[in-house]
Amino acid sequence: MNKRAVALLSGGLDSTLAIKLMLEQGIEVHALNFLTVFCTCTSKGCTHQATKVAEEFKVPIKVMNITKEYMEIVKNPKYPRGRNMNPCIDCRIFTFKKAKDFMEEIKASFVITGEVIGQRPMSQRKQAIMTIEKESGLQGLIVRPLSAKFFELTIPEKEGIVDRNRLLDIHGRRRNQQMALAKKFSINDYPCPAGGCLLTDKGFSARLKDLLKYKPDYNISDLHLLKIGRHFRISDSLKFIVGRDSKENEKIMNLSEKDDFIFDILDIPSAIGLARSSEANPSMLLGVGSVSFAQKDIELMASILARYSDSDGKSVIVSYCVLPEQNWENIPAISANKDFLDTIRI
């Protein structure tokens, strides 16, 4: 067994401290960061913070974008989810398996994590931690510097690679000890919260469930859109997303794709609306400019957009087009009723 280890680095305080404690013991740390669309850290994402930490500590870092594979776990977890769509136990097993593969690839001997026992309701309870360790094939090979005293000796400790006396006994949700350690090590910048990813959020989970139900062949842009705007279910095959501010309007435009419908009000300040269908040929279905069975959907979406404009209850002209042509059509609309909107809001 050598002194090389793979450290799971989210960019949060706990994983940062875990690495620091191991570096203090002369361990050769190789950081591993996982990137999914569900990360909640800084606006630039967890990877940015993890990269910053790795640079500061002068350790190599590998960033793995795992969204595609990870979605299979999100859809069909083996273990019970948390309160919302978060499959925490399966998620940890998955990331530990990835860490094991990376460990073997770089010929490292063990894995380091910033886990703190009892910090999170599900995946950081001792029983769950042991299940995760067993299923990932890393039994005895996971060193948790912050909570090590609550666990059996690991192989690196038994072999004298890691000094158990210099490992800690932090537990629970209070973060005082971590804050004190951060101060001691002069770690000041740790924006990633200890909370979970977006899958732990009730509203986000409702939007994800809706997507999986009505568009099982979703793409990555569908997943990114779940993070922004107000979402409305117009019909089984049609969803309408309205930006909440200029930044979201811009993001909506950046995430738009061929066959999406864009709604805008050109005369007065308003949000941008994006209608996305799960049908193969949405523009044929809706028939831009022609009266079709879906004309009522266009009228509804126009009235929703009017609601999020400066129309002040007056009739406005809403313009819409299908991408990428941008042949704009106009339709008059009056702001939709709020109570009704609540019934179709996802």
Tokens standing for residue 143: 């060193």
Nearest distance from residue 49's CB to ligand SF4, in Å? 15
Stretch that binds ligand SF4, among 60-68, 86-94, 296-304, 325-333 (CB under 6 A): 86-94
Judged by CB, which is closer to ligand SF4: 17, or 265? Answer: 17
Q: What share of the chain is helix, strand, coil (3-state, %, to 5)?
A: 40, 20, 40
- Our finding on whether 98 is near ligand SF4 (CB under 6 A) is no
Judged by CB, which is closer to ligand SF4: 171, or 233? Answer: 171
Cβ-closest position to ligand SF4: 196
One of 49, 123, 147, 256 touching ligand SF4 (CB under 6 A)? 123
Q: Helices marked H in the chain — which ranges?
A: 13-24, 46-57, 67-75, 88-105, 126-135, 155-158, 176-184, 202-214, 220-225, 246-255, 282-286, 295-307, 338-344
Tokens standing for residue 289: 């400019």
**174-192-140 Cα angle (round to 5):** 70
Nearest distance from residue 38's CB to ligand SF4, in Å? 6
Stretch that binds ligand SF4, among 195-203, 211-219, 264-272, 284-292 (CB under 6 A): 195-203
Sheet containing 230-235: give its strands across.
230-235, 238-242, 273-277, 261-264, 316-322, 329-333
Stretch that binds ligand SF4, among 80-88, 166-174, 274-282, 316-324 (CB under 6 A): 80-88
The dihedral through the CA atoms of 234, 238, 244, 249 has a sign that is: negative
Judged by CB, which is closer to ligand SF4: 89, or 225? Answer: 89
- Our finding on whether 273 is near ligand SF4 (CB under 6 A) is no
- Our finding on whether 49 is near ligand SF4 (CB under 6 A) is no
Judged by CB, which is closer to ligand SF4: 92, or 276? Answer: 92
**89-92-95 Cα angle (round to 5):** 150
- Our finding on whether 199 is near ligand SF4 (CB under 6 A) is yes
Q: How far apart are CA 101 and CA 110, in angstroms?
A: 11
- Our finding on whether 200 is near ligand SF4 (CB under 6 A) is yes
- Our finding on whether 197 is near ligand SF4 (CB under 6 A) is yes
Nearest distance from residue 60's CB to ligand SF4, in Å? 23
Nearest distance from residue 261's CB to ligand SF4, in Å? 33
- Our finding on whether 119 is near ligand SF4 (CB under 6 A) is no
Nearest distance from residue 157's CB to ligand SF4, in Å? 25
Please state the separation of Cα 345 from the chain's center in Å: 21
Q: Do residues 11 and 49 lie in contact, with contact meaning Cβ atoms separated by under 8 Å? A: yes
Give per-residue burial for 222-260: e unless 16+ CB within 10 Å, then b.
Answer: bbebbbbbbbbbbbebbbbbbbeeeebbebbeebbeebb
Going by the DSSP 8-state scheme, the letter that residue 198 receives in this structure is G
Stretch that binds ligand SF4, among 24-32, 84-92, 156-164, 276-284 (CB under 6 A): 84-92
Q: Do residues 62 and 102 lie in contact, with contact meaning Cβ atoms separated by under 8 Å? A: yes
Nearest distance from residue 123's CB to ligand SF4, in Å? 5
- Our finding on whether 255 is near ligand SF4 (CB under 6 A) is no
Residue 69 one-letter amino acid: E
Q: Choose among 262, 241, 231: nearest CA to 345.
A: 231
- Our finding on whether 91 is near ligand SF4 (CB under 6 A) is yes
Residues at the site binding ligand SF4, with contacts judged by CB under 6 A: 86-88, 91-92, 123, 196-197, 199-200
